[in-house]
Structure 1
Amino acid sequence: MRAALSLIPVMLLAACGDGPSVDKKNASTAEVAQSVADAGMKLKPGRWEMTMKFDRLEVEGMPAEARQTMQQMMGQSRKFASCLTPEEADKPDGSFFGQQGEDCRYDSFTMGGGRIDAVMTCKGKGEDAGSSARMKLAGTYSADSYDMTMDMDGTAPNGKAMSIRMAMASRHAGACKGDETS
């Protein structure tokens, strides 16, 4: 789940129309960040308000009580806000585009012309050792908004299969207010 949420900042990239594009294969998060920066794509600083909705969350062997709780959450939206400083917007590093190091790599990353498509594979370390995930991200973006769908299939640290589908929509909401969660 942490890996899935780590993809959110990459969706905040602001570029319009037929402007710059990035097309990477088998690349680290740092390489993607550098390619985005080299292409002149900049993040729009300020407050971003996001709505996230889980459409599917399945974990093999999940106890009945936990499954019932998850089913009640399905289809419900969660809202939160984040603040991106001008400094972060001007110089995003690899950590901004997901987990750094060899834990996660983009199998493919294509962004341009208002569309983004990416596939990332992550392998857990430390307390998450034994876990793995493959995430597919697809959607549209502009300077002031994005709408994305993320599908993730993987294995939890206990070896059980899991599958998640969520939709995310975000809008730039002006200046930061100081009450953002990140």
Structure 2
Amino acid sequence: MHPATLIAIPAASLLLASAAAPPRAGQWISTATIVDVSAPGMPAGAVAMMKGKPRSHSYCLTQKQVEEAPEEMFRQTEGQCQYKKFDMAGGKLDSVAVCTGGMGKMDMTMTGTYDATSYQSHNVMRFSGPQGSMTMTAHVTGKRTGNC
């Protein structure tokens, strides 16, 4: 599982609810920026290449997703993710997931805020696998851009 893929996808899933009203179905864009990387043994140049470069992902949120299973937005990753915790209420997000894939295991926490047309989150991803361990932190924002 490629780390950049894992960052963009959780960001997409955060758009899902609002404190006063449900999220608005429609076209959304999420942007994830890696702000910190801790990877023992990784060359400094490789770490520098990962940090600070925004990656955006555009997608259509359906009314069915809004109403029935907003957490399903996380399932667009390569590999399998399961929630240990998923709370979205009162304009706040608090989520913990475990994912497996080609790189091994990833534990991910997300905390953030949201409303019907935007969100922001702080995501921490801890990878462990045959190639060692790595922790990445990302800042993720998203907004509704119109109809699908």
User: TM-score scaled by structure 2?
Assistant: 0.77
Which amino acid in the other structure matches residue 98 of structure 1? R
Larger Rg: 1
Which amino acid in the other structure matches residue 97 of structure 1? F
Alignment of 1:155 onto 2:132: no
Count of residue correspondences: 144
Matches of 1:93 and 1:111, distance apart in 2: 9
2:139 to 149, 162, 167: 167
Q: Are the equivalent residues in 2 in contact too, given 1:50–1:168 (CA < 8 A)?
A: yes
Q: Deviations over 1:124-156 (max 9, x none)?
A: 3xxx27x11111100000001101010011213
Q: Are the equivalent residues in 1 in contact too, given 2:96–2:107 (CA < 8 A)?
A: yes
Q: Deviations over 1:43-74 (max 9, x none)?
A: 42222122221111333333x3xx41431442
Please give the secondary structure, in 2, of the residue aligned with 1:76. coil
Matches of 1:49 and 1:170, distance apart in 2: 5
Segments of 5+ residues of structure 1 without an aligned counterpart are: 20-41, 177-182
Q: Are the equivalent residues in 1 in contact too, given 2:11–2:31 (CA < 8 A)?
A: no
Which amino acid in the other structure matches residue 141 of structure 1? Y
- Structure with greater strand share of residues: 2
- Counterpart for residue 119 of structure 2: 146
The change in CA–CA distance for 1:6 and 1:77 in structure 2 (over 3 A counts) is closer
Which amino acid in the other structure matches residue 54 of structure 1? I
Segments of 5+ residues of structure 2 without an aligned counterpart are: none
Matches of 1:121 and 1:55, distance apart in 2: 21
For the aligned residue pairs, the C-alpha RMSD in angstroms reads 2.9
Q: CA deviation at 1:164?
A: 0.6
